[in-house]
Chain A
Amino acid sequence: MNEKRKNTTDNDKIEKLLREYCETRDINLRNELVQHYLYIAEIIAKKFVNRGVEYDDLFQVASLALIKALERFDINRGYKFSSFATPTIIGEIKNHFRDKSRIIRLPRKESEMIKKIESAKAHLSNQLGRSPKPEEIGKYLNITTEEVLELMESSYLTNTASLDYYIDENNETDLMAMVGREEKNYSLVEDRDVIEKIMSGLGDTERKVLYERFYNERSQREIAEEIGVSQMYISRMERRLLERFRSYIKRTI
């Protein structure tokens, strides 16, 4: 309940800032607002990582689009900023894909087949002047349409590296899915050394939470009760840990 109240005050503060920015177009206000809304750019950029362009690129495009959206935003129109910014950001990302259709930048952790799909996609895009259909890729690579679809989906799993869009308070979440239960794609994380290395950089509570969740498979609620914090606190900590794993893996691959 406290959280809800705090959230409303934050929202009010941001709305005031937004209003002031729309009136003055002051660069410092703009920067502060960008910082606040940057999460939108991150979230959207993450959703496009499996289409053959690296996250860093996507984030660049998304954050620039966010700034653009802010600069164009008119609070008097009555829209929520996030509802206005989202299509702008998505639009810019899609433009970026169109511009890049000739150059393929592949994430390093791709299987041979997925690389071939991306290649085929780039080649056929050029040839057809539009995005190819799965069938066309299949014909080109001499595999079935079904295999194309499955490979596209597995590319999504490889690159998205998390199911963290979804929160369920009782069951296993992203962290567990990522570090243990899923497939060979994540075998790197199952490597003891990697885990130990990351563990050594953690605080006591974080280490305990990781241990209890990963090794003992205890629920967030249980751990929260034991430590004496809210379940949301544990959920957020897990999310932060997930980020750390992700960036560690990105750096070391």
Chain B
Amino acid sequence: MNNDIITLTVPAKPEYVMITRLTSAAFASRLGFDVDQIEDIKMSVAEAIILILNQAVRPKELLIKFMHLGQDIHIDITGQGEWIETNISTQDIDHAQLSRYILGSMMDEVEFKTDNGIIRAICMHKGCGGSS
């Protein structure tokens, strides 16, 4: 398992959020996370995707990387390919902001890579808490 990286590229559509959640669950499970932590990680991954997609511009594709440092899980979600304009209302953007706060509560650390106010990538990590 040492330093293996799993890379997933998915179209930015709702159907594929589930695949991302499942992959993160499987990866986290191998690292020794318990079921509650796994649910938190799954939620975070979904919220991060929502955040990237509910903006004035959004990508058509998402690149998701699963990595680990010791027993800490690291997940990077990056919008890639073409970015297109959306019709999102500000109310929905406000609601999407909640995702930002939810992310912060679920993961140990979250980093937003922005450019001109648009989030391009989200990097997050979470430790196991050492229960082995």
Contact = CB atoms under 8 A, between A and B. Distances in A.
A97 interface: yes
A177 B14 CA distance: 10
Interface stretch (A26-34, A108-116, A126-134, A202-210): A126-134
Nearest to A130: B131
Contacts of B32: 133
Interface in B75-97: 86-92, 94-95, 97
Nearest to B34: A131
Interface stretch (A55-63, A70-78, A161-169, A190-198): A161-169
Contact of B14 (A135, A152, A168): A168
Contacts of B100: 83
A232 B26 contact: no
Contacts of A132: 34-35
Size band of the interface chain B makes with A: 35 or more
A166 B102 contact: no
A3 B21 CA distance: 34
B95 A134 contact: no
B25 interface: yes
A80 to B, nearest CB: 8
A166 B18 CA distance: 13
B21 A97 contact: no
B105 interface: yes
Interface residues of A, number: 43
A160 to B, nearest CB: 10
Label chain A's interface by main secondary structure: helix
Given A3-B89, A152-B39, A166-B53, A130 B34 contact: yes
Given A47-B102, A135-B29, A232-B89, A168 B13 contact: yes
Interface in B99-117: 99-102, 104-106
A43 B13 contact: no
B14 A131 contact: no
B57 interface: no
Contacts of B10: none
Contact of B25 (A43, A44, A149): A149
A156 B17 CA distance: 12
A137 B35 contact: yes
Contacts of B104: 83, 86-87
A146 B26 contact: yes
A44 B102 contact: yes
The 4 closest A-B pairs by CB, nearest first: A86-B101, A131-B34, A131-B36, A90-B105
Interface of A: 3-4, 7, 39-40, 43-44, 47, 50-51, 82-83, 86-87, 90-91, 97, 121, 130-135, 137, 145-146, 149-150, 152-153, 156-157, 163, 165-169, 171, 177, 231-232
16 contacts: A3-B91, A7-B90, A40-B98, A44-B102, A47-B102, A51-B36, A83-B100, A86-B101, A86-B105, A87-B101, A131-B34, A132-B34, A149-B26, A156-B42, A171-B13, A231-B87
